Amino acid sequence: MRLIINGKTIERPGPCSLEALLRELKLMADRVATVVNDDVVPSKLRAAHQVQEGDRIEILTFAGGG
């Protein structure tokens, strides 16, 4: 399956949930915001949201500072 994540094309085997994809990428789900095909996917819906071939996924991380 081909996905575009933050502008980079990746290949991965078969479908999965957005939550599983974040785990696979070793990202802390509680510290990112996710957008799939220009639609925000709230954290509480990531387990149910299945990524599809060709999805454009943006994963935004938060940085603290002052």
| Tens-digit pLDDT string for the chain (66 aa) | 999 999 999 999 989 999 999 999 999 888 999 999 999 999 999 999 999 999 999 999 987 776
What is the residue type of 33? A
Q: Is residue 19 part of a domain?
A: yes
Residue 1 is encoded by which pair of tokens? 């399956």
pTM here is 0.90
Q: Is residue 37 part of a domain?
A: yes
Instruction: Give me the domain span that covers residue 9.
Output: 2-61
Number of domains the chain contains: 1
| Gap between the Cα atoms of 4 and 41, Å rounded | 16
Q: Which residues pair with 62 in a beta bridge?
A: none
Q: Is residue 35 part of a domain?
A: yes
Q: Is residue 66 part of a domain?
A: no
Strands 2-5, 56-61: pairing kind: parallel
- Which domain CATH number covers 7? 3.10.20.30
